Every structure is written in structure tokens, then in C-alpha cells.
Amino acid sequence: MSTLQPENPSIERRIALQRVGRIDPESIDDYLAEEGFVALRQLLQSANPDSVIEAVTTAGVRGHGGAGFPTGRKWYFVAKADAPVKYVVCNADESEPGTLKDRLIMEGDPFSLIEAMIIAGFTVGATTGFIYLRGEYNLARHRLENAIRQAEAAGFLGRDILGSGIDFSLHLHSGAGAYICGEETALISSLEGYRGEPRSKPPYPTQSGLWGRPTLVNNVETLVRIPPILRHGAAWYRASGTAGSPGTQIVTLLGDVNWRGVVEVPFGISTRRLIDDVGQGVKGGALKLVQSGGSSGGIIPPEWLDLPLDFDSGRAGVVLGSGALLVCNAHRCVVDLTTVVMAFFRAESCGKCVPCRVGTVELHTLLQRLTEGRGTLRDLSLLETMGAMVKRTSFCGLGITAPNVLLDGLRHFRDEYIAHARDHRCPAAVCAMQDSAWGELPHLATVG
């Protein structure tokens, strides 16, 4: 993984990553010297929380946690909720495979997240905030703990912030390594001390979240966009991106490319430009596919490389999700890829609902048979039926997205699955097929 290189203005625009790599993330003085806490100071002076909602709404910020929900609307819902206590929660559980954006922000610019959360608290009327941090993120935890201490000492956190009469305290909570705790209602259960399992929506967290109070849950990358928007205005933010997805998006580029790393680009850029201009081309062979949005995302076939990447491109079949792009060259096997993805969901399903708890295990079992040369065409048709069923019927987003890569794979690379199932052959020569005599056994068993 390469670290950040100097910004290349012909393709990049750094907003969320503006300070990362340029300041000492352990020094509040460095942060203050780079326009740190300017937006907060101005806001506390103007004492006009509605102006924040207006700016965020006009800027068109949408959630970077995966779902793309309009951030201004979410803030408005919590702000107008009538309750004596409200909370602000930062979703920093970043567990989507191949996604490293929130980590880079928290390790490289932790004060920006703190400033954004204080602004969020002031705007919606919350005096307590929580950061739910992925358990494995040790450096980020260290940097955030340090930043919270320094911000408290400097009067930005705690009681009567900068003499404004506003209070806000911030607490850091480390997760215990479950992917499901990134789902906002499971995160809330976990934060309350319960088993990390999703809850029914409605009620949405904006109405009844943490301890039954209206709660604002936002992703790290979403939050850190707010202070620069308040400083420079919505028009400045909208200067890049598309009409439906204004601004920028952090992309984690991985796999068979010559340069791998994290880059912030305007929305609407094509996958091809990211691979060619940022990734410096495909490594080790021709391009076969790009897996976008992490394990819960989808597959971009070569024919779709020129489609723009934004929140609405999902309609065309290109899933942006967490911004992860895994590039695969011609030596990769799509059935192998699907099996690895399904193993992830099998391990991460919380177990609450039947389709996801059992379905991911069955799908993984059937896929493993294919990669071992023990599959049948009947298995293949069951994979397709069950994959669609798990997607349709699961309780939460985990089960709903778990079959995405499988279903996209079957849509774009059906011949490769058929070669595994019928001919017990792996065209990319990745899967270690067993002796065909063994491959016939399940056949005989099911025929009776």
C-alpha cells in the first residue's frame, strides 16, 4: 500500500484528505495553523445551527458509509426531534474489505473529526458524542485519544466551549471485531452493551437510537466534509462532482494495478481513469473485472469501465459503496473470488435471521464444491435461486448485499461458472480441481 503522494490536481481534489500527510496529527497547533477549528469558532459566534443544515443541504453532501443518504436531511431530522437528550455517533467501524479511507483520515487528521462532531452536536442539539472505532485500528485509537485530550485541554471539548455556553463531550469506544457492528442499529446495540445485532427500522436512529434517544449516525468521511463546507461555502463544494453527487469521494484502489492506495477524486470519474491515471494501469495481464464497493458491492465488467462512479450509478449496475475498487487481471478466477467473498459473509453474519445465517453457509458450501471440481449444474441453479432469495429476504443490509458479487458474477461471467460446474474446469487455472472421479460423487448421491 502506497502512502499519499503529492496531490495531482488534474485528477484529484482533496477535501476530506486536505491535511492528511501535511500536518503532525498529534499536534493541535499544527491543526490550528491549517484553519483548524475556524468553522467551529465562526459557528459558535453566529450561534445559528440552522445555517449548518442549510449549508450541508445546499452542498448536497450524501453519506459516505455506503448508503448515500442525504446528510442535510438526516441532520434536520435529529435537529427537529423533540427530546431532552440526543446523541451524535461517528461510525468509524470501517470493516468493508479493501476500504481504508476512514483509517487514513483518523490517523492523519484526527482533529478534523473532532471539530466536525462538535459542530454536529451543536447543530442537532446533542451534548454527548461517541466514536465507534473498529477494534483493530490501534494507531487511529491512539491518535484520537490524544486529539480528544488536547482538544479538551484547549477548551474545544467539555463544558462551555470557548465561552459559548455550549457543552459537548466526546467518548471513544473500540469495537470487538464484528463487521455487523458497522450497521447503524447493530452499532447502537453494541454501544449500549448488548449483542451486536441489528434492530428493526423504523424506528430509525434519528427518531429513536442510542438508549432510545434521537441519534445522528454518520460515517467519518461524511463528517469531516462539513467544516470545510462551512468555511468555503456550498458552491465551492459543488464545484466538482455531478449534480446528484456533488463534491468528492475517497477511493481505495487495490489489486492488480501498478499503484495501489487511497485517493480523493471528484464524483463522476470513470473506473477507467482511476485505473489508468491513478493506478498507472493494470498489472500482470489484461483487465478482467473490477470489484467495487468492497465485498458487499458488485462487479464492474470491462464493458462498463467508462460509466461514471457516483451514488446514482448503482442504477446502471456499478456500485460505489465504500469506495473500494479491487482490480482483477485475466489470471484471476471469478468463482474463486465469489467463494472468498462468501466466506467473509458466512463468518460475519450475526445469526439473527435465517436467510443470512444459513443461506451464506449454504452458498459458500455450494461455491466451494465448484472450486473443488465437485459441483453440478444443479448446484449452479440453486446458487442463483438461493442468492436471489437471501438478497430479497434478509433482515439487514449484510444479508441483502452478501449475494451481490455472486449474482453479478453469474450475470457477467456465466460461462466461467458453467465451466466449473459442468466440465470441472477452471478457465483461469486458479481453482485446484480434484480428480473427476471424486467430482462425480455428489452427483451419484443426489441422483440416489
Partner 1 sequence: MSTILLTIDDRKVHGESGETILSVARQHGIPIPTLCQLQGASTFGGCRLCLVEVEGIAHPVSACNTPIKAGQRVTTQSPALRADRQMVLELLFAERNHYCAVCVQNGDCELQSAAAQAGMDHVRCPYLSPSLPVDASHAQYVLDHNRCILCMRCVRVCAEVEGAHTWQMAGRGIEARLVADNGVPWGESTTCTSCGKCVHLCPTGALYRKGASVAEMQKKRGFLLRILEGRELGRTGEEPTDDFLVPTVEIRS
Ligand X SMILES: Cc1cc2nc3c(=O)[nH]c(=O)nc-3n(C[C@H](O)[C@H](O)[C@H](O)COP(=O)(O)O)c2cc1C
Tell me which residues touch ligand X (CB under 6 A): 63-67, 69, 91, 93-96, 180, 182-184, 217-219, 222, 396-398
**Can residue 181 be called a binding residue for ligand SF4 (CB under 6 A)?**
no
- For ligand X, the closer CB: 96 or 416: 96
* Of the candidate residues 31, 122, 267, 395, the single one contacting ligand SF4 (CB under 6 A): 395
Minimum Å distance from CB 366 to partner 1? 7
Q: At what angle do helices 110-124 and 138-153 cross, to 10 degrees?
A: 60
Among 398, 406, 421, 431, binds ligand SF4 (CB under 6 A): 398
Comparing C-alpha atoms, which of 256, 275, 255 is closest to residue 265? 275
Cα distance between residue 339 and residue 366, in whole Å: 9
- Window 353-382: residues binding partner 1 (CB under 8 A): 353-355, 357-362, 365-366, 382
Residue from 352, 374, 412, 424 binding partner 1 (CB under 8 A): 352
CB neighbours of 305 closer than 8 A, spacing ≥ 6? Answer: 270, 271, 272, 275, 287, 290
CB–CB of 66/102 below 8 Å? no
Q: Which stretch binds ligand SF4 (CB under 6 A): 25-33, 300-308, 319-327, 396-404?
A: 396-404
**365 is in the binding site of which of partner 1, ligand SF4, ligand X, none (Cβ under 5 to 8 A by kind)?**
partner 1
Q: How far apart are CA 263 and CA 7, in angstroms?
A: 9
| Min separation Cβ 349 and ligand SF4, Å | 4
Nearest-CA neighbor of 342 among 300, 260, 398?
398
Q: How far apart are CA 190 and CA 211, in angstroms?
A: 11
350 binds ligand SF4 (CB under 6 A): yes
Smallest gap, in angstroms, from Cβ of residue 446 to partner 1? 9
Count of positions on this chain that bind partner 1 (CB under 8 A) = 33
Binding mask 46-65 toward ligand SF4 (x if CB under 6 A, else -) reads --------------------
358 touches, from partner 1, ligand X, ligand SF4, none (C-beta below 5 to 8 Å by class): partner 1
Choice between 49 and 182, CB closer to ligand SF4: 182
The region of 125-133, 205-213, 351-359, 421-429 touching ligand SF4 under the rule CB under 6 A is 351-359
In the list partner 1, ligand SF4, ligand X, none, the entry touching 184 (Cβ below 5 to 8 angstroms by class) is ligand X
Beta bridge partners of 217: 89
Nearest of 199, 244, 242 to residue 217 by alpha carbon: 199
347/361 Cα distance (integer angstroms): 9
- The footprint of partner 1 (CB under 8 A) covers 178, 180, 195, 200, 202, 346-355, 357-362, 365-366, 382, 385-386, 389, 391-395, 400
Name the residues that contact ligand SF4, by CB under 6 A.
180, 198, 349-353, 356-357, 394-396, 398-399
